[in-house]
């Protein structure tokens, strides 16, 4: 990635006067759930609707996502609300299906970013497309591994790229589900200032009550956007119930955040 200027500026094209907001449930559960949440987000600052359909659960036996069926629900959410859509892809088959169903933005999960083989085949499956790909940090705080994933996409000519900071695993008991280790993301930002950097406070926190504070810290550090898990009934969500917030709580957070304007 010698010429960082060649990264395409997909985010500027959105022409937003606030940080990019990606919102929606951890998992697509039913068609009704997807559409209800998308409609509740429609007139908020959220530009992109997220919902995971293939869920990389740490241990088996939990809800592992609705699979390809959910792609139709995402398509419907887009048609009905005009929001862009994003979902996680973890292999070339997911990529093929997501492209076929017009998912606007693909994200790479933390458990996928750790695997260069996996990343390489996903990047090759996207070669020559102009899809935007957002790459979550690997589960371990390894900046080189994170950058390596970005570079693997870049060298396949996938140049609409961004990164998502979702925190890092630790065996210690802390207030976070995944330690933010802000310095790792700041180092990445220093190395690639043109790469949009998005905060995922939901997976860092693992709980609702510190989502606002994390968002504020991210914006103070000049992050370009946030991705917040949002559900109309968070307590009964099929995955990540403790960390999801309602669309109206997200609206309140956006009102309360001090958003730093670009200098100069
Ligand atoms: C998610 O965004 O729901 C998810 C599974 O994320 P991560 O890869 O950060 O765990
Ligand atoms: Mn989740």
ipTM exceeding the 0.90 mark: yes
Candidates 2.40.50.140, 3.20.20.70, 3.50.50.60, 3.40.30.10; CATH matching 19-256? 3.20.20.70
Residue 166, ligand 1, Cβ within 6 A: yes
Residue 136, ligand 1, Cβ within 6 A: yes
Residue 24, ligand 1, Cβ within 6 A: no
Mean per-residue pLDDT of the chain: 95
- Where do the domains of the chain lie? 19-256
Mean of pLDDT values over 175-199: 96
Q: In which band, very low, low, confident or very high, does the pLDDT at 264 lie, cut at 50, 70 and 90?
A: very low
pLDDT of residue 1: 57
Residues with CB under 5 A from ligand 2 (ion): 26, 240
pLDDT of residue 58: 87
Q: In which band, very low, low, confident or very high, does the pLDDT at 56 lie, cut at 50, 70 and 90?
A: confident
Which residues on neighbouring strands pair with residue 87, listed in sequence order? 106
């Amino acid at each position: 990635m010698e010429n960082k200027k060649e990264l395409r500026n997909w985010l500027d094209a959105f022409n937003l006067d606030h940080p990019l907001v990606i919102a929606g449930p951890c998992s697509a559960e039913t068609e009704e759930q997807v559409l209800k949440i998308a409609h509740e987000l429609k007139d908020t600052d959220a530009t992109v609707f997220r919902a995971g359909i293939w869920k990389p659960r740490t241990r088996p036996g939990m809800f592992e996502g609705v699979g390809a069926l959910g792609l139709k629900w995402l398509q419907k959410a887009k048609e009905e609300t005009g929001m862009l859509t994003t979902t996680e892809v973890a292999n070339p088959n997911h990529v093929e299906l997501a492209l076929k169903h017009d998912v606007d933005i693909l994200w790479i999960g933390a458990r996928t970013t750790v695997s260069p083989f996996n990343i390489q085949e996903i990047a090759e499956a996207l070669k020559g497309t102009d899809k935007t790909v957002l790459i979550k940090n690997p589960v371990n705080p390894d900046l080189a591994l994170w950058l390596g994933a970005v570079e693997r996409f870049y060298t396949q000519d996938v140049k609409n790229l961004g990164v998502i900071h979702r925190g890092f695993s630790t065996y210690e008991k802390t207030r976070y589900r995944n330690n933010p280790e802000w310095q790792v993301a700041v180092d990445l930002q220093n190395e690639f200032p043109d790469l949009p950097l998005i905060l995922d406070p939901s997976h860092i926190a693992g709980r609702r009550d510190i989502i606002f504070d994390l968002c504020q810290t991210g914006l103070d550090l000049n992050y370009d956007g946030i991705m917040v898990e949002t559900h109309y009934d968070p307590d009964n969500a099929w995955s990540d119930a403790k960390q999801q917030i309602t669309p109206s709580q997200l609206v309140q957070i956006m009102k309360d955040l001090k958003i730093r304007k670009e200098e100069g």
